[in-house]
Amino acid sequence: MAKSVLLLSGPNLNLLGEREPLIYGDATLDDHVATARAAAEQHGLDLDHMQSNHEGDLVAAVHGARGRYDAIVINAAALTHYGWSLHDALAAFEGKVVEVHLSNPYARETWRHTSVITPVADGSICGFGGLGYDLAIAAVARMLE
Ligand code: DQA
């Protein structure tokens, strides 16, 4: 059976393409999901995607992923910096976790320098724009080998 990945997208990422393009680029969330899906197919992984502007929905999605998905790739967006319930949910997920950001939060405002996701992730990829989704899936594939 193919291994499976759940891609999670946090608040405001539904506005990608229109939202601060100088920082986040012109690609839409659908474009990034397509990138991740193509990479997953190449590595023989199944991929599902879910986006929400609500922390509780993302927490519920992580709970639902327990025992069902082998890995989670997550761009938690602003929740990265304060979403402790998402941190705790991911800590209870037994599979692999990769954190992705389009921009490099460490080169931006100080409040973006803290990630509550990093301590519960196997690794983090940031600053490479859409390429980050490709790299994240490649990392998941390698870890699940
Ligand atoms: C982001 C970085 C976060 O600081 C920000 O709140 C986002 C997007 C990124 O992909 O670069 O919404 O996660």
Please indicate whether residue 90, judged by its CB atom, sits closer than 6 Å to ligand 1: no
Q: Are 79 and 58 in contact (CB under 8 A)?
A: yes
Q: Is 32 a catalytic residue?
A: no
CA of 114 to the centre of ligand 1 (A): 12
For 88-100, how does the pLDDT look when each residue is reduced to its tens digit (9 = 90+)?
A: 999 999 999 999 9
The torsion defined by the Cα of 39, 54, 110 and 49, in degrees rounded to 10, comes to 0
The torsion defined by the Cα of 24, 29, 10 and 50, in degrees rounded to 10, comes to -170
pLDDT band at 72 (very low <50, low <70, confident <90, very high): very high
pTM score: 0.98
CATH number of 3-144, picked from 3.40.50.9100, 3.40.50.1970, 3.40.190.10, 3.40.50.300: 3.40.50.9100
Q: Are 83 and 76 in contact (CB under 8 A)?
A: yes
Q: Where are the domains of the chain?
A: 3-144
